[in-house]
Structure 1
Amino acid sequence: MSATTTVTETVQANPNLHGFGRMRLDGTDHQFGDFRDELARNGFAVVKGAIPREKALKYADEMYTWLENFKLGFDRNDLSTVHKDKLPVINEKGMCLHYGLPHENFVWGVRSEPGVVGAFEKIYDDEDLIVSFDAINFQFPNRTDIAPNKPWPHQDQNPEKHGFRCMQGLVNLLPNGPEDGGLIVCKGGHLVSEEFHRDMADEERIPAWTPEWYGFTDRGMKWLEDRGCKWEKVCAEPGDLLLWDSRTPHYNLSPKNSQPRFAIYTCFMPVADATQDDLIRKKDAFDRRVGTTHWPNAMHTGSNVAQRDGKEDPHNRDRPLNDPEFSERAFKLTGIPYIKAQA
């Protein structure tokens, strides 16, 4: 393609550019009449009301209660108590990864909501899914007690592995407008991902802890701009499910006004795309109540050892406050029922 190829021209020239699971999603034609058309065209979509609003606000209330139960002085009604010394360890991007949090009952409640699971069933045309044990996001406005959240535009996909590989998602639990922080995406960036990495093959990589992460340099950002890719802040209401192709460049913004941002990351994939070794590793992560990043096949697993000021947090815990209660359908999402007995 020429140096002036735009996103639209790329779509028109590659009608089968995106493969979601076992499906082929066309980037130009409206084949489904639902959010999947936006996923194909833009690389992201919002599924409105995946969880009823009042139920979503109840989950947000449980998140507040979880923070307060550390008894470090945080009070949801007093934003002056938002301070790293009064909270569990939450990084500048709002991520909380430890304390058994990925397995709290309210987190599993969100993951197993029918409207959330059902959206991924549509994407993959498959009901046999597994879910990530991913991070939870607590972002509060106007924080000065931690490092500023600087933009870190990236793809969550190895640039040497092309095509669709992972559908990322999060459930938004509080009102989230233009100034309330949250997800920002590069619209249509997934369409030109393969061309980008071909043209930028000589670009020095930003260091990353996993090859399944690619950070965009200023030169890369200019390349995307020249192809007509525009950055867009995704707004949402409580209970909305935000979805994006892992090839879509993205990052998150911090809230600017007075509204906190709460979200639970929810990524699914067909169990058929995981090996037995993946499922065994995933079971081990579940048994230890640790996280797995956004990869449902437990490509990476974490720990419950948070570091506070360079030392192990004395408030660490290795089990959730409230262990999950599973329906049969929800337990399948752990992947454990799909592990075959050893001969």
Structure 2
Amino acid sequence: MMSTTMTMTQSQAQPNPNLHGSGRMRMDGEDQTFGDFRDDLTRDGFAIVKGAISREKALEFGNEMYSWLEDFKLGFDRNDLSTVHKDKLPLINEKGMCLHYALPHEKFVWDIRSEPGVVGAFEKIYDDEDLIVSFDAINFQFPNRTDIAPNKAWPHQDQNPEKHGFRCMQGLVNLLPNGPNDGGLIVCRAGHRLSEQFHHDMADEKRIPAWTPEWYGFTNRGMKWLEDHGCKWEKVCAEPGDLLLWDSRTPHYNLSPIEKQPRFAIYTCFMPVADATQEDLLRKKDAFDRRVGTTHWPNAMHTGSNVAQRDGTEDPHNRDAPVNQPVLSERAFKLTGIPYIKNL
């Protein structure tokens, strides 16, 4: 599958020092002007890159996502919303996240990650072509579900509050029409700029328990602090093919659709390979080889598994390989981080 890609020489895969860091965005500064979506990012902590993928292509990818669900042959039918039920679908949590079944490595997921308009946006952010990508979750959200726990607001930052400054740019590619009532991303405009002050002022606040220090949930007191400091929450609407970006310090969460339109999205986060250690890259290679996912951190800070569990028992429909294996170009294979591993 990847024989030509795997023979890349190490000299081909070394980070280019002439590209890395010379014009990287300073998310905490106000002295940079770009004339594009990066101005929104620095000012607001989030941005929309319109048409990162063509609408036609995005809808095709959406159809592939529908087919992936139907191919489990559990009874789900895209044309009949009454078939949206946990017993007729693979395991998808109340937030819409699907993490298992080797889904992060399906061909259509890698094709989206590899789209020039998607990768190119992150190249602009970091002023760097030597990037690695997360093997993140895929989002399927259907309206008005009663078969699973309700998706309540869960405002949070995906960054350790003890580590200040810009560390990660998160992103997702939206694949279906996504209006005000179609669920999706809710952000706190410009909250990233107040993050350090917030955590200084709220240092005595007991944290909401989390499985990783790289997640901070906002309590009612924290939400009141944001309100008192002028922060406004807003729903980000998008068209098929739009890339949504946000600083990991920007408070955010998602909501489920409430009318008839489902929400499909692929989470896509990139960072310069120079920001990852060799240990990170080896861990990332292991995740790629086993076809398991990661969180949004492209350096594979956390890796997952393909063992989905339903009611405490292993799902009999678990998979340890994609239905359609990815076919990666040389450029896409670099995004795995594997060609940058020394002495491999």
| TM-score bracket for the superposition, by shorter chain length | over 0.9
Q: Contact 2:159 / 2:214 at 8 angstroms: preserved in 1?
A: yes
Match of 1:330 among 324, 329, 332: 332
Q: Give CA deviations for 1:263-308 in whole Å, capped at 9, x if unaligned.
A: 0000000000000000000000000000011000000000000011
SS at structure 2 position matched to 1:242: strand
Letter in 1 for 2:81: L
Q: Distance in 2 between matches of 1:290 and 1:26?
A: 34
Structure 2: which 5+ residue stretches go unaligned? 1-20
8 Å Cα contact 1:20-1:164 kept in structure 2: no
User: Against the structure 1 CA distance between its residues 26 and 98, is the aligned structure 2 distance closer, same or farther, given a 3 Å change threshold?
Assistant: closer
Q: Percent identity?
A: 86
Match of 1:192 among 179, 190, 194: 194
What is residue 88 of structure 1 aligned with on the other side? 90
Q: What amino acid sits opposite 2:91 in the alignment? A: V
Tell me how far apart the structure 2 counterparts of residues 252 and 221 of structure 1 sit (CA, whole Å): 16
Give the ranges of 4+ consecutive aligned residues of structure 1 lying more than 6 Å apart after TM superposition.
none
Quote the residue 2:15 is aligned against.
none
Which residue of 280, 283, 286 maps to 1:281?
283
Q: Which residue of 1 aligns with 2:137?
A: 135
Please report how far the alpha carbon of residue 309 of structure 1 lies from its aligned counterpart in structure 2 after TM superposition: 1.6
1:185-222 CA distance string (max 9 Å, x none): 00010000000000000000000000000000000000
Instruction: Name stretches of at least 5 consecutive residues in structure 1 with no aligned partner.
Output: 1-18
Number of the residue aligned with 1:10 = none
Q: Is the 8 A contact 2:27 2:166 kept in 1?
A: no
Q: Does 1:171 align with 2:173?
A: yes
Aligned pair in 2 of structure 1 residues 26, 303: CA closer, same or farther (>3 Å)? closer
The question of whether the paired residues in 2 share the 8 Å contact of 1:20 and 1:165 is answered with no
Task: Indicate conservation of the 8 Å contact 1:268/1:296, yes or no.
Answer: yes
Please say if 1:72 is aligned against 2:74: yes
- Selected match of 1:223 from 220, 225, 241: 225
- Please say if residues 20 and 123 of structure 1, whose CA atoms lie closer than 8 Å, have aligned partners that are also in contact: no
Amino acid at match of 1:56: A
8 Å Cα contact 1:25/1:37 also seen in 2: no
Give the structure 2 partner of residue 340 of structure 1: 342
Q: CA deviation at 1:251?
A: 0.3
Match of 1:263 in 2: 265
Residue 25 of structure 1 and its aligned partner are, at CA, apart by 4.4
Q: Which residue of 1 aligns with 2:185?
A: 183
Contact 1:57-1:173 within 8 A present in 2 as well: yes
Cross-structure match for 1:31: 33
SS of the residue corresponding to residue 180 of structure 1 reads coil
Superposed CA offset, 1:300-327 (max 9, x none): 0000000112210000010000010011
Question: What is the RMSD computed on CA atoms of the aligned residues?
Answer: 1.3
Moved more, 23-32 or 50-59: 23-32
The match for 2:303 is 301
1:27: how far off? Answer: 5.4
> Matched residues in 1 for 2:25 and 2:161: separation?
22
Q: Which residue of 2 aligns with 1:12?
A: none
Following superposition, the deviation at residue 23 of structure 1 comes to 3.3
Give me the whole-angstrom Cα distance separating, in 1, the residues matched to 2:145 and 2:26. 43
Aligned CA distance change for structure 1 residues 20 and 102 (closer, same or farther; 3 Å): farther
> 1:220 and 1:333 mapped to 2: Cα distance?
37
**Distance in structure 2 (CA, Å) of the matches to 1:199 and 1:282:** 36
Figure out how many residues of one structure are paired with residues of the other and give that number: 324
- Using the size of structure 1 for normalisation, the TM-score is 0.93
Separation in structure 2 between the aligned mates of residue 282 and residue 294 of structure 1, nearest angstrom: 12
- Aligned-pair distance for 1:24? 2.2
- Tell me the equivalent position of 2:46: 44
What's the counterpart of residue 253 of structure 1? 255
SS of alignment partner, residue 197 of structure 1:
helix
Equivalent of 2:103, from 101, 110, 113?
Answer: 101
Taking the aligned partners of 2:186 and 2:29, their CA distance within structure 1 comes to 20
Q: Secondary structure at the match of 1:23?
A: coil
